[in-house]
Structure 1
Amino acid sequence: MNWQGKTAVITGAASGFGLEASRIAATRGMHVVMADVQQQALDAAAAEIRGLGAQVLPFRLDVSKAEQVDALGAATMERFGAPSFVFNNAGVAHGGLIWEHSAKDWDWVIGVNLLGVAHGLRVFTPLMLAAADADPAFEGHIVNTASMAGLLSAPNMGVYNASKHAVVAMSETLYQDLALVSTQVHAHVLCPFFVPTGIHQSERHRPAALADAVAPTRSQLIAQAMSGKAVTSGKVTAAQVAQYVYDAMDEHRFYIYSHPKSLASVQVRLEDVMTPRNPTDPFAAKPELGAQLRAALRATAA
């Protein structure tokens, strides 16, 4: 696809996949609408992308707020018109035993990871379809960031798993719904595994209104430590994943993976569903890790 002069709308644009996707957009001659909840980081990222020669519209945004995403859509249309690439990418991470998630945990994670995508679809899909109706040459792509956690159900990650499974389901439905009404607007879902992006530090950007008054539970502290170690040790970079996103759009490929070898675990899960049999132990290949986690969690009751 010739992206020159087209517009990209990217949430979570100040870091990780969003920043790398913004960099690629600039090098391809696109206008870039950069949305993020972190004002200082957004200002720095927008300055960098302008330095690459792109026209940039920075927009401070909490994707969980419907009215703010509405305003993002209006600002985009006023400045650049309908986008050709919408990257619903903003996300947060939170772990722990599923019954230990507080109501505020659910509100925060579901608000950002699930409703953030829902608002992006609600606002931008109609704009892209209208552009397609007006111009037979228009081509649009919507990419939703899920996770391998949207295809698996790893333990001690309940609220995150739930949010990302929902994003996969929404994206697959979007793909099918778009196929009913258009051949010009396309859907994709990104399912990365552990990539160094900073998502393990999500808590520092949690709104004060959704902060818990009680200290984290042992399971939540364990999940945070495990997530931090896994994310920071990832060998695939955010820049590589952003390139995979553009490759998938160019190839009209729906599923986007950072670690294709991890699909073996997805196959095991689907075999569990189809057989049917009880869920397979996720630590079957590395029983020592499972033993360590069980021992750490059961020490809570000691």
Structure 2
Amino acid sequence: MIKNFEGKTAVLTGAGSGFGLECARLAARKGMNVVLLDIQQESLNAAEAQIKALGARTLARRVDVSQSAEMDSLAQQVLETFGAPHFVFNNAGVATGGLIWESSVKDWEWVLGVNLWGVINGVRSFTPMMLQAAREDPAYEGHIVNTASMAGLLTPPNMGVYNVSKHAVVALTETLYQDLKLVTDQVSASVLCPYFVPTGISHSERNRPQGSPATELTPSQRISQAMTEKAVNSGKVTAEEVAQKVFDAIADDQFYVFSHPKALGNVASRMEAIVSIQNPPDPFAERPEIGASLREALRG
């Protein structure tokens, strides 16, 4: 947990838009040093200008979070510039959809590379220096927040690759929390599980690496893309509101952070099916018309 953010350092991946940018703005307003990481140079430049305008000491770097060497090098730059960070937000994410067997090897490599390996690399690169800072300074406070999704607690159909990546992030972060509790009381962790919030996630294809071109979309992938874009863009909770929830969770040492707590009913149904050894429940029980239209489209 962190009670006083003034003068401390925040490192944020996916900082060019969405949750990353809103958390960077809030960090700057709280008097933190801000390290902005993103793969899109244009968005990164705009974010850097905004954060500097808020008066924060700022370091902005274009980084591919899926690449361990790039993250290790960046972590060393942060250490040399600001010392060990206090808030690390492993937030960069991309999405693809469609029936799980129709996803290509490149789809799997891209989504798992960013969504899972990006978090792995952030945890691996920054946690040791945060623990070292805690050993050297009894007043040091550190917190790691990893962005998963409600798709990390549910298994919505036609979103298999994304679901797998986000379930892995939830498991990783729960384990990280327990591991940290074994060795320190000064560094903790949280997992952010947003539902549909207007961000740039529905336009992830713009960030595909050059060596991983998208193939022609299958019908199921086109349907998934359209449904995701509609749901994301119609979201009522803003990225700014989610950023505030993240900072509140850090201050309170709250592990699970939800943008839409009312959606936890679906999580409860899934967990009840598991402990009672029942088959997975109908994911469209509350909105049967969506399930009916999706089945009709895919079977037609």
The TM-score, its normalising length taken from structure 1, stands at 0.98
Distance (whole Å) between structure 1 residues aligned to residue 182 and residue 288 of structure 2:
46
Letter in 1 for 2:95: A
Letter in 1 for 2:230: K
Alignment of 1:1-302 (within 5 A): 1-212=3-214, 214-299=215-300
How far off is 1:17 after superposition? Answer: 0.2
Distance (whole Å) between structure 2 residues aligned to residue 123 and residue 287 of structure 1:
45
CA-to-partner distance for each residue in 1:217-258, whole Å, 9 max, x for gaps? 010000000000000000000000000000001111000000
How far off is 1:103 after superposition? Answer: 0.2
Distance (whole Å) between structure 2 residues aligned to residue 90 and residue 285 of structure 1:
30
Sequence identity (%): 62
Q: Secondary structure at the match of 2:191?
A: strand
Distance (whole Å) between structure 2 residues aligned to residue 285 and residue 58 of structure 1:
44
How far off is 1:80 after superposition? Answer: 0.5
Distance (whole Å) between structure 2 residues aligned to residue 217 and residue 74 of structure 1:
42
Q: Secondary structure at the match of 1:208?
A: coil
Distance (whole Å) between structure 1 residues aligned to residue 286 and residue 169 of structure 2:
28
Distance (whole Å) between structure 2 residues aligned to residue 286 and residue 237 of structure 1:
23
How far off is 1:71 after superposition? Answer: 1.1
How far off is 1:138 after superposition? Answer: 0.2
Q: Secondary structure at the match of 2:178?
A: helix
Structure 1 spans left out of the alignment, 5+ residues: none
CA-to-partner distance for each residue in 1:133-180, whole Å, 9 max, x for gaps? 000000000000000000000000000000000000000000000000
Distance (whole Å) between structure 2 residues aligned to residue 67 and residue 45 of structure 1:
24
Distance (whole Å) between structure 2 residues aligned to residue 228 and residue 278 of structure 1:
29
CA-to-partner distance for each residue in 1:175-220, whole Å, 9 max, x for gaps? 00000000000010000000000100000111120113x3110100
Distance (whole Å) between structure 1 residues aligned to residue 288 and residue 140 of structure 2:
52
Distance (whole Å) between structure 2 residues aligned to residue 45 and residue 183 of structure 1:
33
How far off is 1:287 after superposition? Answer: 1.2
Distance (whole Å) between structure 2 residues aligned to residue 56 and residue 281 of structure 1:
47
Distance (whole Å) between structure 2 residues aligned to residue 286 and residue 183 of structure 1:
44
Q: Secondary structure at the match of 1:92?
A: coil
Distance (whole Å) between structure 2 residues aligned to residue 201 and residue 141 of structure 1:
29
Q: Secondary structure at the match of 1:188?
A: strand
How far off is 1:66 after superposition? Answer: 0.6
Distance (whole Å) between structure 2 residues aligned to residue 66 and residue 210 of structure 1:
18
Distance (whole Å) between structure 2 residues aligned to residue 239 and residue 114 of structure 1:
24
Q: Secondary structure at the match of 2:15?
A: coil
Q: Report the more deviating stretch, 150-159 or 276-285.
A: 276-285
Letter in 2 for 1:295: E
How far off is 1:260 after superposition? Answer: 0.2
Distance (whole Å) between structure 1 residues aligned to residue 288 and residue 31 of structure 2:
49
Runs of 4+ aligned residues of structure 1 deviating over 4 Å after TM superposition are none
Distance (whole Å) between structure 1 residues aligned to residue 285 and residue 44 of structure 2:
42
Structure 2 spans left out of the alignment, 5+ residues: none
How far off is 1:285 after superposition? Answer: 1.7
The TM-score, its normalising length taken from structure 2, stands at 0.99
